[in-house]
Structure 1
Amino acid sequence: MIARALVALLLVAASLPAFGDTASAHIHTHQHNKIDSNERMEDGAFSPRDADHYTEGEHHQEFDHEAILGSVKEAEEFDKLPIEESKRRLGILLTKMDLNNDKYIERNELKAWILRSFGMLSAEESEDRLDEADTDEDGKVSWDEILQDTYGSDPEDLALDDKLVQDDKETYEAADINKDGYLDTEEFKAYTHPEETPRMFPLLLKQALEDKDTDKDGYINFQEYIGDRAKSKDKEWLLSEKDKFDLEHDKNRDGRLDSDEILSWLVPSNEEIASDEVDHLFAGSDDDHDNRLSFEEILDHHDAFVGSEATDYGDHLQDIERFQRIEL
């Protein structure tokens, strides 16, 4: 039995990255804020930015790290840093986050920083996609480049997705604010993240009504809200959706969604997401419960705010100990 445990230990240890191998030293993937993070949920609403913060009861710290660093690339870089260097860089960020220079991070300061990070993440995602779509490398994107990048060149593919292409073209044209037929960096961000661009909201409302408002009265009732989705669902799902419609979406309780309620349903509130993230980080770091975070408290809990190489090795060591217990 002891021999088997030693073999198991060696097998796990062999899978650990070498300390000098920074290219493979981290295990975080940071994929939830990917280019298509503005994908739609089943009911048609845009997926909230924190959709993958908790999945199937599991907490993913990648969301926390990106909410502080404002960049997937930066978060991945922090994952590779030795713990002391990670804490040193976090300390520099804290001086920028601390708006009143009192060496504490108040809730409003942390929320403002997180909202700033959300904007930076969207810009990074959009810029990455622009680089991919901009085949002639002129720093802007034409509709033909969008078609090629998104749908390919097969006419049959475009025919199959005709409604999708039509909506996409409308979004492209609405994002092109100067009407020159191209999208620059800022316009392209409006195209890739219309749910975070208020000037795009009228288009989102128009498209939602076209998709859902079958009786064309300018409202969306519960039957229109569930649409064809109900055909393959059971009674429990129907009751759950009715509660969601009545208690979350229909704010004035008149049995239908007006324009404001439709947009509130479609567009995730980054304000609310940022407030929830502040609560989450304070719950795990405010050791003296004074409703503010000292620099020391944040640095003591640095792994909640940013990644480091040491965090990953700690995970591996825990795996080794668990393996030993099982084998013995």
Structure 2
Amino acid sequence: MARPATVLIYLILAVLLLLLLRSHHSPEHRNHLHHRRLKLRPNFSFTSPPSAGDRYIPFDPLISDIEHRREDREWERSHFNIPSAPGEEAQPEWEDFIDAEDYLNDENRFNVTNRIVLLFPLIDVDPADQFVSLEELTEWNLKQAAKEVMHRTGREMEMHDKNRDGFVSFAEYEPPSWSRNDNISFGYDMGWWKEDHFNASDMDGDSLLNKIEFNDFLHPADSVNPKLIKWLCKEEIRERDKDRDGKLSFQEYFNGLFDSLRNIEEVYNHSDTSDGAQSNKLFKELDKDNDGFLTEDELIPVIGNLHPSERYYAKQQADYVLTQADADKDGRLSLNEMIEHPYVFYSSIFDDDDDDDGLDFHDEFR
């Protein structure tokens, strides 16, 4: 918890910054502020899995809450037919008669500068030194991502828990339609959403998944369950094991696995010589028993690269924000830098129809 002196410094700094910003609300100042109108993300897709390009972690919990309300309402309409009581009309929720974009663009209800001033001390915690580091921003993103993921897990669990006992059995679970389509397109029976996947997620072995286990089932890359991690390795073997001997030869590894590992974090010279040298080096590092094959256990050290976790995306987003908002290039963000670059933090809800020459001016965000 921040010390009283630190809290006082934050309050004084926030008041001074807000007074300074108000003094800049002159017509001359407005003319050089190019701010896009804020617009919520499209509804989350319920029919296909999120791709890496769709990974977005909400910076502001208030924005996340609005998006959850919209998603939940759409989810209910898509999956449940809930009739109104006889003679009564369904009462509209507040989003039905107050447009969320209008709310976000109304300075009296949502002000980006004020939100950043409020959130800054919640991010700057380790240590509370009036700067936000890459690590602090990553942890903040990860915390928001965990809330986002668990919210969707709760919604999924509500749909699959047919007997309403707070658990999901394998008999109750019906895989998503996109997974069945993938099975057909890949030409073999994938292990995803199958019983071995379910059993690997069942950490306590009671043949039922509680909310934490069900979350692991849906998002195995973020699990710390050893059984599930080994199951992921098994899937990597099965997907690339052409001769079905339960392990990967060098050629099977090179034709698929190596490219996946190489493209996650590192940039290589793509010449044949470099590819060969790098692939041989990595293969030897993974092949602990030197038998010329890779087994499930030998893939464990790199499974996090093959299936990036939410922490990976949280850091990726934090890296991007830091490169955009760190004006003095000292590797950290001051409150002033965050206020001066507000739309880096709210970039996912820009109106993409705007271009550089035709941006709306929204002085209320300053």
Choose from 210, 215, 226 the match for 2:255: 226
Q: Secondary structure at the match of 1:112?
A: helix
Give me the whole-angstrom Cα distance separating, in 2, the residues matched to 1:36 and 1:209: 22
Counterpart code for 1:145: E
**Structure 2 runs not aligned, ≥5 long:** 1-37, 69-99, 257-269, 361-366
How far, CA to CA, are the matches of 1:71 and 1:202 in structure 2?
37
Would you say the 8 A contact 1:35–1:128 is kept in 2? Answer: no
**Shift of residue 270 of structure 1?**
4.7
Q: How does 1:83-98 map to 2 (within 5 A)?
A: 84-98=110-124
1:98-247 aligned at under 5 Å gives the runs 98-99=124-125, 100-147=127-174, 150=176, 163-164=189-190, 168-199=194-225, 200-213=228-241, 214=243, 216=245, 218-223=247-252, 226=255, 246=279
CA shift at 1:169, angstroms? Answer: 1.1
Shift of 1:32: 7.9
How far 1:275 moved relative to its partner? 3.5
- Structure 1: 5+ residue stretches without partners: 1-24, 38-46, 54-61, 228-236, 322-328
Measure, in 2, the Cα distance between the counterparts of 1:319 and 1:137: 52
Per-residue deviation, 1:312: 3.6
How far residue 172 of structure 1 moved from its aligned partner, in angstroms, is 0.9
* More off after superposition, 186-195 vs 274-283: 274-283
For residues 15-26 of structure 1, the aligned pairs below 5 Å read 26=39
Q: How much does 1:301 deviate?
A: 1.5
What SS is found at the alignment partner of 1:140? coil
Q: CA deviation at 1:271?
A: 4.6
Deviations 1:69-88 (A, max 9, x none): 47984374886513553332
Q: Does 1:287 align with 2:314?
A: no
Q: Provide closer, same or farther for how the CA distance between residues 88 and 131 of structure 1 changes in structure 2, counting only shifts above 3 A.
A: farther
Counterpart contact for 2:248–2:293, Cα < 8 Å = yes
Q: Aligned pair in 2 of structure 1 residues 282, 211: CA closer, same or farther (>3 Å)?
A: closer
The CA distance in 1 between the partners of 2:193 and 2:250, in whole Å, is 23
With over 3 angstroms needed to count, the CA separation of the structure-2 counterparts of 1:300 and 1:33, relative to structure 1, is: farther
User: Is structure 2 residue 65 aligned with structure 1 residue 74?
Assistant: yes
Q: Residues 106 and 138 of structure 1: is their aligned pair in 2 closer, same or farther, counting only changes over 3 Å?
A: same
What does residue 338 of structure 2 align with? Answer: 298
Counterparts in 2 of 1:86 and 1:117: CA distance versus 1, 3 Å: same
8 Å contact from structure 2 (residues 40, 67) kept in 1:
no
* TM-superposed deviation, 1:238: 12
Matched, 1:36 2:62: no
The alignment's C-alpha RMSD in Å is 4.6
TM-superposed deviation, 1:249: 6.0
In structure 1, give the amino acid aligned to 2:145.
F
Partner deviation per Cα, 1:103-150 (whole Å, 9 max, x = no partner)? 221222112222323333322332232223233433322212213x53
Measured after TM superposition, the shift of residue 204 of structure 1 is 1.3
Structure 2 Cα separation of the partners of residues 75 and 244 of structure 1 = 50
C-alpha distance in structure 2 between counterparts of 1:268 and 1:244, whole Å: 25
**Aligned residue identity for 2:285:** N
Structure with the largest fraction of helix: 1
The alpha-carbon distance between structure 1 residues 204 and 125, as it changes in their structure 2 partners (threshold 3 A), is: same
Structure-2-length-normalised TM-score: 0.56
Aligned residue pairs total 261
* Residue of structure 2 equivalent to 1:52: 53
> Could you tell me how far apart the structure 2 residues matched to 1:251 and 1:224 are?
12
Inter-partner Cα distance in structure 1 for 2:114 and 2:276: 48
Q: Which SS does the other structure have where 1:182 is aligned?
A: coil
- Structure 2 distance, partners of 1:305, 1:118, is 14
Distance in 2 separating the partners of 1:71 and 1:146: 32
Q: Deviations over 1:164-200 (max 9, x none)?
A: 3686211111212223332111010110011111311
Identical aligned residues as a percent: 20
Aligned-partner Cα distance in 2 for 1:30–1:275: 24
Task: Quote the residue 1:252 is aligned against.
Answer: 285
2:339 is the alignment partner of 1:315: no
Render the CA deviation track for 1:238-273: whole Å, top value 9, x for unaligned: 979x67982896473878654245524422255544
Tell me, in whole angstroms, the C-alpha distance in 1 between the residues paired with 2:192 and 2:323: 46
Query: For residue 29 of structure 1, what is the amino acid of its counterpart?
Result: P
Find out whether 1:263 has 2:303 as its counterpart: yes
